[in-house]
Structure 1
């Protein structure tokens, strides 16, 4: 006997500005929506996508129109402890929820110290290409604000298992934490206070607990049903490239099945991106090079995510036709990032050597950019451009009444002689003040140069006639 299960997709279209949610999607389809770059996934499993009580009720789905609705994430997947469609506004019920009769989860129960019910879980294995993985999310609940610190709270977590680069292993380590802390995100830890448990007025009255990351949504008619939700947060873990990990994304009702919660996961955000290198030039006109003795390049080194501890980015090599410390200022082979610092800028200043060498380049490779294929995956190039100084010759002596023309051999954007005239040449018509001939030039990149010589005019000798007596 062959059993065929057909998964029907429920599409709920709502008014403009409201959240849109679709259900009927399998675990692999949901996960594909979450995936970004730099990760390879396998062994996708799920628990509780469909309600045991009613097979037409799905605890998971896809969502759209989230930016307009105010959630801060435009689209992605939604895991809930009830009916995913209940996330759709308008918010006209102070305590929406539905029991699904799905069981609880021991790992979630260990976090809150009580039984859990209506669990919805998506888990999978993955291999990261780089040394960090992350994804963006927002946690929302109907238990805000009435049941803040009320003792019965829904719970969610992102459990990672695998090698820890700092030593040992992650063993179901929860990476859903409040920024710059080790505190798990939950109704009791991130909120704007409550107005007594079970109060008909759900607006939070303080005191604030990390409320800079909280949005009080207890507004009748708002586009999302949940009475409160977090700002968009980032779950992040430092990992060992090319090693196997396991991630468990889970949410459940805590203690009872009355009010529901959900976690919105941003589409395409589960990724393992590398460090970004970007040269930025100060040369006018957007010219893609730095000019010797005039302009510079700034190498921006940016982490994919700010890390909580001091970290280093190590350059694998610095090569090119330009020599480090000779043709430009000496730059180190590593960059230090302070805790929570995202970008470091390294100035690269070409040295003016008065030589015509042609354009030179710098190649910078990253040692921590070596992916699972074992090759350098990123290289950045910085170009250095010669600046040719103006020269009008050496000091000159001429006889009185003799004209002399001085010529600037190179082509520049502008020329200004000592007497205010302009042009590539200047012809003497007499002795300039102090006998100095000077020229100031500017090239197309805004770089300037000048030169001066001393002009000496000798009187013509007087020849006395020879007298023959």
Structure 2
């Protein structure tokens, strides 16, 4: 029985522990200095805060109206994990569960303390008031922080005289008018109007569920149109007591960099000290934009430096023009070697007065060494208005073999039907895409080899890019289209009896074409008008090839141009058939054949004719 009791107590302890780690938990700032609270909890980047006061005193806080809060992981509907809480009563009233409809915890303080700026926002009298104020300097032309307003006045007293109110009052030089003003920046987003030129103040009667409460008074209602910024907290919710609270709201304004401004954060009950309200300030959210770094690569959309291909213009940018020259010190480290893998970087750069940025070129160098991924680490440090900023920039360099294409002349005869880009080198394993110009002459302007039909001399260019986005040089292909020559020739004689000479004459167009003769007898010539001796009887086919450019040729052939001559047949008779010595003999020429031009007789006795 005893063991069961211990087990039951253990379960209760576990459940209680989980509840504590899941709800809003508050810690009073009593006996702390206001300055320590704002610098250690509220301050973020780009601001200097000073002269912190709580309820008009810079001394130790003497009430429980202000402190810090934490939020457990289970309360996901609440936007902040920690920060400062200010309430009209004791801050512990914020802690869940939501088991009361009118929770409040009075604190000991002089009710005579009132905030005139806050009083100006409502007609009814202020009661318990909580005020946190400080001076600050912003490094840029704007600042912003985030907050949540919560109240037990929700939802019963929406549109009633019990309109608990708060304000964030900024005092300082207006950057447009250059006049010192005080304005409330705790306003509903996108609510600027003629009635509310700075925006509608956040209050019970202006930001709510959109439904009037049970204590409705028409004259007190400001707006029921801002329910998108409101969260209703149902009874029994274990995380927070307040019956309603806003979404995370921004508060901020334009300011003059390095100028001192005063911020007053004030919240008060209206008409009575019951139904407490509170404001939650997100931790580290009071910021003025710090500098940003933009990496502008040669290849848009890439994220790495590539040797010989993808360089970088590093932009260091502040949000508003510098009021004086801003010095930025750069400390360089990493596995890449400065001056070997990339060009040497400066140790110091400046954003000049009136400018908002400075550019640092980072140029890679080709070392033809396979090194894998190397890094460049840049630590950038600057000071604006006495506020220091630092940022570490890490870049990567990868190896790459540059793509090199060859330029060349391409002589063709009459028409060009194929073009090919000649790749001299590229990175292994990276597919290439080609870019031909003009592309309307090609079947595929992205292929290395493509079909075409070019009939006139044309200059084309081609580039290649690999899968990393790296591009090659621009190569030029000079397509030289030659008209095919017209080889013609004459010759004389056309026939003969070996051996005999034949005279050839070229009539080729164009006259300057290179000539090559084939005479059909094993002899050739490159002369324009050659003479050839045919030494054997036979029929011979003669061809003449004319060439222009490197490969534009045409051949003219005459079959059996030279033919064997027809030999004459020599014959004769004489009378008498058997002459005797001293008798006269008559000879009759019986020879036959065409074109016989001469005869020669030999009578055997030394006489000829």
**Structure 1 residue 397: Cα displacement:** 6.9
Determine if contact 1:160/1:170 at 8 Å carries over to the other structure. no
**Structure 1 residue 15: Cα displacement:** 2.7
In the other structure, the counterpart of 1:192 is 209
Q: Of the candidates 248, 255, 258, which is equivalent to residue 242 of structure 1?
A: 258
In the other structure, the counterpart of 1:409 is 424
Q: 1:81 & 1:290 partners in 2: Cα distance?
A: 63
Q: 1:36 & 1:249 partners in 2: Cα distance?
A: 17
Determine if contact 1:21/1:84 at 8 Å carries over to the other structure. yes
Q: Of the candidates 515, 527, 533, which is equivalent to residue 467 of structure 1?
A: 533
Q: Of the candidates 63, 76, 88, which is equivalent to residue 83 of structure 2?
A: 76
Unaligned runs of 5+ in 2: 1-16, 193-198, 217-221, 327-353, 357-363, 367-381, 414-419, 435-441, 485-513, 524-531, 536-609
**Structure 1 residue 134: Cα displacement:** 1.3
Q: 1:174 & 1:229 partners in 2: Cα distance?
A: 20
Seen in structure 2, the aligned counterparts of structure 1 residues 278 and 290 have a Cα distance that, compared at 3 Å, is farther
**Structure 1 residue 121: Cα displacement:** 1.2
Determine if contact 2:157/2:213 at 8 Å carries over to the other structure. yes
Q: SS of the residue aligned with 1:467?
A: strand
Q: 1:297 & 1:137 partners in 2: Cα distance?
A: 38
- Number of aligned residue pairs: give it: 380
Seen in structure 2, the aligned counterparts of structure 1 residues 419 and 78 have a Cα distance that, compared at 3 Å, is closer
Determine if contact 1:159/1:248 at 8 Å carries over to the other structure. yes
Q: 1:156 & 1:46 partners in 2: Cα distance?
A: 15
Query: Which is higher, the Rg of structure 1 or of structure 2?
Result: 2
Q: 1:432 & 1:196 partners in 2: Cα distance?
A: 81
Q: Of the candidates 46, 57, 60, which is equivalent to residue 54 of structure 2?
A: 46
Give CA deviations for 1:294-317 in whole Å, capped at 9, x if unaligned: 9999999896xxxxxxx9999x99
Determine if contact 1:124/1:248 at 8 Å carries over to the other structure. yes
For 1:341-360, list aligned pairs within 5 A.
Answer: none
In the other structure, the counterpart of 1:326 is none
**Superposition RMSD in Å:** 5.1
In the other structure, the counterpart of 1:125 is 135
Q: 1:143 & 1:290 partners in 2: Cα distance?
A: 66
For 1:84-95, list aligned pairs within 5 A.
Answer: 84-95=91-102
Q: Of the candidates 410, 427, 432, which is equivalent to residue 395 of structure 1?
A: 410
TM-score by length of 2: 0.51
Q: Relative contact order, CA 8 A, sep 6+: which one is greater?
A: 1
TM-score by length of 1: 0.65
User: Are 1:271 and 2:306 an aligned pair?
Assistant: no
Q: 2:308 & 2:184 partners in 1: Cα distance?
A: 50
Seen in structure 2, the aligned counterparts of structure 1 residues 178 and 67 have a Cα distance that, compared at 3 Å, is farther
Q: 1:147 & 1:442 partners in 2: Cα distance?
A: 69
Determine if contact 1:215/1:228 at 8 Å carries over to the other structure. yes
Seen in structure 2, the aligned counterparts of structure 1 residues 195 and 372 have a Cα distance that, compared at 3 Å, is closer
**Structure 1 residue 140: Cα displacement:** 0.5
Q: 2:388 & 2:99 partners in 1: Cα distance?
A: 56
Give CA deviations for 1:305-336 in whole Å, capped at 9, x if unaligned: xxxxxx9999x99xxxxxxxxxxxxxxx999x
Deviates more, 1:218-227 or 1:242-251: 218-227
Determine if contact 1:214/1:228 at 8 Å carries over to the other structure. yes
**Structure 1 residue 411: Cα displacement:** 1.9
User: Are 1:442 and 2:468 an aligned pair?
Assistant: no
**Structure 1 residue 454: Cα displacement:** 4.3
Deviates more, 1:266-275 or 1:125-134: 266-275
Determine if contact 2:153/2:162 at 8 Å carries over to the other structure. no
Unaligned runs of 5+ in 1: 1-11, 50-54, 200-205, 304-310, 318-332, 336-356, 360-368, 399-404
Q: 1:438 & 1:133 partners in 2: Cα distance?
A: 54
Determine if contact 1:193/1:209 at 8 Å carries over to the other structure. yes
In the other structure, the counterpart of 1:329 is none
